[in-house]
Each structure stands twice: as C-alpha cells, then as structure tokens.
Chains A and B, each alone.
Chain A
Amino acid sequence: MKRNIFHGISVSAGIAIGRAFFLARKFPQVQAAREISPTQTGTELARLDAAFESTRREIEDAGRRIPPSLKDQTGILAAHLMICRDPKLIQAARQAVKSDFLSAEWALEKAVAAIAESFSLIEDSYIRERLQDVRAVAERIMGHLRGRLASALPPDEPFILLAHDITPADTLELSLKQIIAFATEEGSRTAHTGIMARSLQIPAVVGVGALEEAVNDGDMLVLDALEGLILVNPDQAVLSRYQTQQNKFSAFQATLRRNAKLPAEPPGGFRVAVRGNIETPDEVMAVLKAGGEGIGLYRTEYGFICRVEPPSEEDLFEEYRRLLSAAAPHKVVFRTLDVGADKMLWDQKMLEEANPALGLRGIRYCLRNQDVFRRQLRAILRASMYGNAALMFPMISGPRELRQAKAVLNEVKQELDTSKVPFDRHMPVGLMIELPAAAMTADILAREVDFFSIGTNDLIQYSIAVDRTNKHVSSLHQPLHPGIVRTIKLVVDMAHMAGVPVSICGEMASDPYCLLILLGMGIDEISMAPQAIPGIKHIIRHLDLDECTRLAREAHDAGSIQAVNRLVKLTLAQAFPDELPFYISLLDTGDFA
C-alpha cells in the first residue's frame, strides 16, 4: 500500500482540499552516452549552446507573461536568467566537452557539480540554498538537451500543485487561478515556494519528501499547512472534518481582521498595551492597521546601515520626525543604536572579535563612539516635539553604563537648551533588560529610569548561553525555562515596586503560550511584529487572568520545562479549542502534542 500521510514544513498558513497535479514528472531516464569522440565536440557544443539559448528564451518569455500578483517574483526570474547566462557555468560546461570529451548532458552535470561543491562551503544558509536555483535552471537546460516530453496537462478545475520544487517560471506555465495550494518534495523555510505562496495567499508545505511516487494526478488531497500535513485520498469522515476546519480558519481570519482595533483587555482585567516592532518608518501604517497602539520597539539601525556615509543629524531628525508624526498620538519607543554582533556598521568590520555577541555592541559601541551616539540623541530629542516619543538604551549591563548613557543624554539636552532648540522635557527614558546582570540589578536600575523593556531573545541567549541558530544546541533555547521565568518575574516585581512599567519586546510576546505566563507575571505592555498583533490581541481579550497568574506561579517553581510546556498547552487548548491550531509557537510542541 502506498503511503497516504506526509509531513513537511508549513511555509504559508491555511488548509486546502482538492485534486493533486504533479508538475513535470521526471522524464523517463534516457541515459545519454557519457564519452564522445573528439570529432563530436563541435556537435555537442552546438547542442549545449542551443539548450542554454532555449532556456534563456523560455525564462525571458515567462518574465513577460508574469501576472501582477507575482510581480515581486520577477527578481527570482531575473536571477534564473543570469544563472542561464553565467559565464562561469557556460565556460565550465563547454570546457568539459572540449577537454574531457563529455557529452553535453554529462558536461552540464559536471559543471553544476563543481558549483554545488563550491556552494557547499558557503556558511550563509540563504546563499547556500540558492544552489536550488542553479539546479532548477540546469533541470530546464537538461530538459532541452533531452528533448522535452510534453508534460501532462493540468486539470481544468482548481488543484493542489505538487512538484519536486517550484520556480516562478513553472507556475507561469499553469493557470495561477486554478492553484489552491503548493506542496514540494524539496525546500526549506526560506524556499521561494513560501514567498510565492504567501504573496498568492495560498497554503504551502515544503520539504515533504517523495510525493511523485506516492501521489497520482487526480488523487484527492488534504493539505494542512497549519500542521504541515498532507493526506492522500482521505476517507469521507476526515474530509468533512477538514472542511469544517477550513471554514473555521477563514472565519477566524475574518474575525481577527474585523476586531483588530478592539483594545486588548481581558474580562475584568487591566488593559495591556499591544504595540509593533519595526525597522523603518514606513512600517508604522502596517502596525496601526493591525491594531497596534504605536511602536514598542523602533530599531534605529536601518537609518545608519543603509548608507555609505554615516547619516547627518538632519537625516536622522527627518526620519524620526516622519515616524513620530505618522504614529501620533500613539507612542514610539526609540531604541538607540544597537550595532555589533550580527549587525555591523562599515567601520566595525575592522574589529576582529573572537566573540562578537559578547563584544563591542549596543550601548558599549555608543559610549565608545560618542559622536554617532550624540548625533542620534540630538535627532531623537528634536523630533520628540512632533509626537509621543520615548527612548531606551540597549545592552545595558548595570548601573554604571546606564549612568554614563544618561549623562551623555543630559549633556545633549543642555546643548539644545543653550542653543534654544525645543524638545520634549518629559520624554520617558528606559532601558532594555537583555543581560542577566541587568536583571539582577533591576531594583537599582529601576530607580533611575521611567520604564523597562525586556528583550527576551537576547535574555534567553545570554542566560542559557545558547545560540538558537546553531542547530547543535538550538533545542536548548527554551523560553519557559524556569531560569528565564524567574528572571522575568524578578525584573517585573522589582520594577513594579519602584512604580516602573515593564514591556516585553522579544518573540515571547507573540507566542500564545508564553503570553499566558507573561501576563500572569503582570507585564504591562507587549510589542511584536505587525502581523502577529491581531491574533495576540484576540487571545488577550479572552483570557482568564487568574488562571494566568496560577500558571506563572507553576512555571516559576517547575521542575521540568516539558511539564510547563504541557501545562500551558493544555490550558490554552481548553480556552481556545478551535483557534489554537491557527497559531504558530516558539515552543517545541512536538514532544507533547
């Protein structure tokens, strides 16, 4: 019996039910001869050139026919075109014909293998995965070399497109309107399929494995891109269950959109401010539209890094003024320049740090490069007249650094006063709690600031000493580790004792499970990526705060992270039995699903 259930990675949320169509089933493997005689090199070179040329025309043609909904995919097509015209690839293939006397097919394979080998050494996973673009182009060239077989025609009714891998050029050969979902054998979280599916707003699952053998064209499929599942020819009971689930999902999305602007206020509880995290002033509209009450974290690095010359005070002032006016009357929290580690200014390339995450970054960089820091502070202060501004310092390790940073701020204020430049004298000043040392001194720090913002991503990294992008240790990145829960609790209690509000701006805030614990500890504000706001506000509006408080206490004293994860999962599943499957979580829910 064939397999009838497949697991993959969801890259675009939703559920689709429909007939399968497999794109470009493999050509029957007519094996080309490997060796050629020296007299054949001319013919083989001509075949090779013709196949490159046909592929180039094919891609150009696809580019001209691209529909408006896929306009942003032209970039990938342009990349494919340039790969097809790549002098290195062409040279390597031709060379293999001329010197190694290989047939055109084998020469192409040899050239691609050489590229694959050099790409395998690249550390950056995004770039390394671009090898799939090289392979996709090579596959097309190979198709022309072999004399492409007419592929089966897709059905007339809507269908689920299955493929080894999908490129935009592939989808153009089909009618996009008929495609209701994608599933691919290959691919990862960063695959183009995901980008494409999200822009078409259809569900997609990638990295599914051997579909071609197991699925026939016309088979009935359920593609569940919430759970990353594909079911082949399910029975009627399963089918109707998924139909119900699908309707609920659409209805839920509609509800979220409709209710986005309602306040995040649990029954009988206090109002939790939900704001957005952004990098450029343009994103403020997305936050307000999603129901965000202003900006909880404005990452100011963008204005510095996207230039060759450091920005002038006027450049920064203009950027900040624009942001504050657009967000007004809502608050905008500026995080002062946080470069170092994964974000570098051009002159930082000079620093050879063995351990950049523990190096000259955040406030350390600013205190060492005060001209840049002062310029930014002046720009923020001047812009504060145009809206509701607050400012916070990143990577503060204790009272001394905070005082140094505040001293610089006060000097800048005095300069502005002397030159009679107006600024908001009551602009709140806070700090990011990201380092365990700052958390442990929260009571001292709280006396000297107006608010705290906990950056949970870095707090977890520095507390557990784990880099979550490192696959060898990423499973140790546990937001609900009692060590993390206790640290946050300590900070919140110390802050509240001093009358200082606490916000959370890391990814924990947009995780439905972690949210329960955070609210249970009395967090005042949360901020997150704009698209997460409506869903999180929905949960907050329907939470039982007493239950959250109880859970937070359990998490605080838990002997096992798994037990805490299980507990929050069960609690949330009881409160939101229908909606919960529509959320994505940071927690490893696999082991207790």
Chain B
Amino acid sequence: MLDTSNNRFILYEPEPGVCEAQVAIADSLGLHARPAALLARAAQQFEAELFISAAGQRADAKSILDILSLSAGRGTVLSLRAEGKDCAAAVRTLAELILTRFREDEDEAASTAEEAL
C-alpha cells in the first residue's frame, strides 16, 4: 500500500501493523547528539516498536545510544520500521523529523531541543 499524499518520502505498509519508510539524512553532521536526542524522544511517544537501520545495522529508535552507535553521516539512507498499532504515525513522525527539523538552523533547532526538555 502506498501513501501518495506526501511527496517527500513514501510510507510502505508491507503487512498490517507494520510500516516502513526510507529517508536520507539532511543534517551536515549526520545523526549527531542533538538529532539523535530528538529522534529518541519522538520515538518514545509511540507504543509501536521502532527501528532505524543503516548499512545493515539496526538500532532501537527509542535509545539515543543505539541511534548514535549507527554513526550515520549526512546523506546516509535510513530505513525506518515500526511494529505496533500506531506504526504509521510513528514512522511518519520520525521521517518528517529527519527531513525537516535537522536543518542547520540554530534557532529552530534550539527551540526544538527546548521542547524536548
């Protein structure tokens, strides 16, 4: 099943209760401390189990330490996968975070981080 409402990434639903998407990291430093913190925090809001994979390595999206250990740099393609009843919302939230909120706009990033606190 294909979600065509969003032209920036495609949400796949390979089976009921499982959602997947692929996105490339825009931030110049890649998944460094701040983006990893924002991702983990966003992931923790969902019931579904959430995974981020890069280059064959899989991380628990709710663990900042796991995300950091992917050491994914700019341009890396990340595969997102959620398993659980809110899987679609979980994947969409994380994908949008990676696409839109990791810009090197310090003010925006700072206020986003502030929300996280």
Which A residues are within 8 Å of any B CB, using their own CB? 59-60, 63-64, 66, 71-72, 74-79, 81-83, 85-89, 115, 118-119, 122-124, 126-127, 130, 133-134, 280, 302, 305-309, 343-346, 348-349
Contacts and interface: CB of A to CB of B under 8 A. Distances in A.
Contact of B37 (A60, A82, A118): A82
B65 A75 contact: no
Contacts of A85: 40, 44
A58 to B, nearest CB: 12
B26 A306 contact: yes
A87 B63 contact: yes
Given A64-B117, A124-B71, A306-B26, A78 B34 contact: yes
A78 B63 contact: no
A81 B99 CA distance: 23
28 contacts: A60-B117, A72-B106, A75-B37, A75-B113, A78-B113, A78-B116, A78-B117, A79-B36, A79-B64, A82-B40, A82-B64, A83-B64, A86-B40, A86-B65, A87-B62, A88-B65, A119-B69, A122-B71, A124-B30, A126-B32, A127-B68, A127-B69, A130-B32, A130-B68, A306-B26, A309-B7, A344-B75, A349-B77
B60 interface: yes
Contacts of A71: 107, 110, 114
Interface residues of B, number: 43
Contacts of B40: 82, 85-86
Nearest to B67: A82
Contact of A74 (B9, B63, B114): B114
A163 B40 CA distance: 29
Contact of A89 (B65, B75, B106, B107): B65
A309 B24 CA distance: 9
Q: Which of A60, A86, A134, A344 has the most CB of B within 10 A?
A: A86
Given A78-B38, A345-B75, A349-B77, A127 B32 contact: yes
B64 to A, nearest CB: 4
A190 B14 CA distance: 42
A63 B76 CA distance: 31
A354 to B, nearest CB: 16
Contact of A88 (B28, B66, B75, B99): B66
Given A71-B114, A348-B75, 9 more contacts: A76-B34, A77-B113, A79-B34, A82-B41, A83-B64, A86-B65, A127-B32, A308-B8, A308-B23
Contacts of B44: 85
Contacts of A83: 64-65
A343 B76 CA distance: 10
B65 A115 contact: yes
B8 A78 contact: no
A343 B107 CA distance: 26
B21 to A, nearest CB: 10
B114 A63 contact: yes
A86 B64 CA distance: 6
A81 B24 CA distance: 26
A119 B37 CA distance: 17
Closest 5 CB pairs of A and B: A63-B117, A75-B34, A82-B64, A79-B33, A78-B116
